[in-house]
Structure 1
Amino acid sequence: MSRFYMPYLFVAPILLLMAAFTYYPIWMSFDLSFRSWDFLSDAKPYVGLQNYKTLMASSEFTNAVKITVLFVIFSVPVRLVLALLIASYLIREDRISRFMRGAFFLPTVTSSVAIAVIFSWFFSTDIGMANAILSWFGIPQQQWLQQPSLALIVLIVVNTWKQIGYDIVIYIAGLQAIPRDLYEATAIDGASRWKTFRFITLPLLMPTTYFLLVVSVIEAFQVFTIVDVMTEGGPAGGTDMLVYMLYRIGFTLFDIGQGSALAVMLFILLVVITVIKSRFLGKRVHYEA
């Protein structure tokens, strides 16, 4: 009997921490989404689905969903494609490749606030390096963070620059796991580089790609810091994404009920997207692997 309970005894501390700081807050958010609370009073009257109805009828919520979906659609595929191309080059074992792996991965572990501040200066209209580079080619200055479409593109660039190092490292690990014998066999058969990449590399990388796709989509839906530091959801709501809207409702307007409702809706949305991806790509991933 002691052997049966001993493993649970060892994992009990981390389970208690997860219960206190993960599962209990999730349950509280779910409970508060059905209540009205201003974060200051003790009264938390039950309002049912009113918070959800208010959000669904809000034009700000519709705009935040649209902006977030656009951000995900235009950032995740670019990240994965660039990461695969760079990883295919950096898989070589030499000093330059090892140095470049570290250089690409460094932004991933760098403070998001520091990165956002630096890029705010870089894309500044008056003193930014981006406009200085454009001036070398006779291109007029651009208001990078003052135009909604350009501001969203800037955020996509910044987020890609920060996160792509992680994708590259995972892709390199996936490439290294592919047996070299397969490449030798295709070389003997006279297959071109493109055919080798299409029929050997890509299929065997499907599990890695699937993992990165799931992680990248979740991360893109939760982008907050660069939005808060660089644009604050502006201009004209052009970068007002779901997590930033959640922060603004919950911690600026102190409407914890609506903020919790938005958090629950975001959680459900991510679960649904993950299930859909698993349903359509899961069988292909496991079959190809």
Structure 2
Amino acid sequence: MPRKLTPYLFVAPLMLFMAVFTYVPIATSLNLSVRHWNFLSPDMPFVGLANYEQLLTSRDFWNSLWVTTLFAVFSVPMRLAVALVIASYLARESMASRLLRGALFLPYVTSAVSIAVVFSWVFSTDYGMVNALLGALGFGKVPWLQDPHIALWVLVLVNTWKQLGYDIVIYIAGLQAVPQELYDAAAVDGGRRLHVFRRVTVPLVMPTTYFLLVISVIEAFQVFTIVSVMTGGGPAGATDLLVHMLYRIGFVLFDIGQGSALAVLLFIFLVVLAFVKSYVIGRRVHYEA
């Protein structure tokens, strides 16, 4: 066997895996997005761009895009800001720090369904822990998951709590790579803790922040489980995020063509968003040689 083929043999299993579970599904979605199919009929007539036209002229689609954008805009910065502050305190090596890292990381590896069910009880209007606490303080009951003006922010809070541990661990790795000499120099110059954090820590972890920003935005646009379990997209479409809308169209209404068209639109949107972030933010990120 020619030695030139050896590297390709090593990557062949991974490429086969990606072909079966990534490229083939993408090609299938593209094909189904220009057809009309309901899962049951053997016929899949070609309808061209009719599915895309129906989506782009649908009020539900634009509402879902707006709700998903709000979800991402509010959840991602909050996640990264809180994670960086906590990570700056846990970056020091100690037994207490290690225990807290493990405790904060547990929600990330816990089943999303379990978390959604627990928080559904916590924010229940009639017997939830939050309303019980408010009642003890003399306040009335709040319909956390039934009020269109509140439900989305509850989901933002729950998703932030679940994903925070991952962000903290990545930030700790980034902080531990910052040379201690820079902090020592700042201390010699009389820099206060907040000033050092803003002028030394934040700029030097920008590569980590940029990585987490890209990952977090993609994750925010793919949230499904907590929406499906806690609100089902309601009330009145206030939490009908794009992936939940995709599920509803494809697997509840059995309109596979339009569901595939929505998947393609979401894919294109995320790719364009990634390039925009790379151009606007990525160019300002400094990587040490």
TM-superposed CA distance for 1:256, in Å, is 0.6
Tell me, yes or no, if structure 1 residue 202 matches structure 2 residue 202: yes
Q: Which amino acid aligns with 2:76?
A: V
**Structure 1 counterpart of 2:223:** 223
Task: Please say if residues 91 and 97 of structure 2, whose CA atoms lie closer than 8 Å, have aligned partners that are also in contact.
Answer: yes
**Structure 2 counterpart of 1:21:** 21
Cα gap change, 1:111 to 1:136, in 2 (>3 Å): same
Cα gap change, 1:288 to 1:142, in 2 (>3 Å): farther
Q: Partner of 1:286: helix, strand, or coil?
A: coil
Q: Please list every run of at least 4 consecutive aligned residues from structure 1 whose deviation after the TM superposition is greater than 6 angstroms.
A: none
Task: Please say if residues 32 and 256 of structure 1, whose CA atoms lie closer than 8 Å, have aligned partners that are also in contact.
Answer: yes
Tell me, yes or no, if structure 1 residue 82 matches structure 2 residue 96: no
**Structure 2 counterpart of 1:165:** 165
Task: Please say if residues 36 and 47 of structure 1, whose CA atoms lie closer than 8 Å, have aligned partners that are also in contact.
Answer: yes
Task: Please say if residues 149 and 238 of structure 2, whose CA atoms lie closer than 8 Å, have aligned partners that are also in contact.
Answer: yes
**Structure 2 counterpart of 1:259:** 259
CA deviations over 1:123-146 (Å, ceiling 9, x no partner): 111111010111122111101111
Q: Which amino acid aligns with 2:280?
A: F
In structure 2, C-alpha distance between the alignment counterparts of 1:45 and 1:85, rounded to whole Å: 55
**Structure 2 counterpart of 1:277:** 277
TM-superposed CA distance for 1:39, in Å, is 1.2
TM-superposed CA distance for 1:194, in Å, is 2.5
Task: Please say if residues 204 and 288 of structure 1, whose CA atoms lie closer than 8 Å, have aligned partners that are also in contact.
Answer: no
Task: Please say if residues 207 and 287 of structure 2, whose CA atoms lie closer than 8 Å, have aligned partners that are also in contact.
Answer: no
Aligned residues: 289
Q: Partner of 2:93: helix, strand, or coil?
A: coil
Task: Please say if residues 206 and 288 of structure 1, whose CA atoms lie closer than 8 Å, have aligned partners that are also in contact.
Answer: no
Task: Please say if residues 35 and 47 of structure 2, whose CA atoms lie closer than 8 Å, have aligned partners that are also in contact.
Answer: yes
TM-score scaled by length of structure 1: 0.97
Q: Which runs of 5+ in 1 are unaligned?
A: none
**Structure 2 counterpart of 1:45:** 45
Moved more, 225-234 or 93-102: 93-102
In structure 2, C-alpha distance between the alignment counterparts of 1:250 and 1:273, rounded to whole Å: 25
In structure 1, C-alpha distance between the alignment counterparts of 2:90 and 2:105, rounded to whole Å: 12
Tell me, yes or no, if structure 1 residue 183 matches structure 2 residue 183: yes
Moved more, 2-11 or 169-178: 2-11
TM-score scaled by length of structure 2: 0.97
**Structure 1 counterpart of 2:9:** 9
Tell me, yes or no, if structure 1 residue 247 matches structure 2 residue 247: yes
In structure 2, C-alpha distance between the alignment counterparts of 1:275 and 1:9, rounded to whole Å: 32
Q: Which runs of 5+ in 2 are unaligned?
A: none
In structure 2, C-alpha distance between the alignment counterparts of 1:107 and 1:284, rounded to whole Å: 32
Q: Which amino acid aligns with 2:244?
A: Y
Q: What is the RMSD of the two structures over their aligned residues, measured on CA atoms?
A: 1.2
TM-superposed CA distance for 1:2, in Å, is 2.5
Matched residues, percent identical?
Answer: 65
**Structure 2 counterpart of 1:211:** 211
Task: Please say if residues 52 and 258 of structure 2, whose CA atoms lie closer than 8 Å, have aligned partners that are also in contact.
Answer: yes
Q: Which amino acid aligns with 1:43?
A: D
TM-superposed CA distance for 1:42, in Å, is 1.8
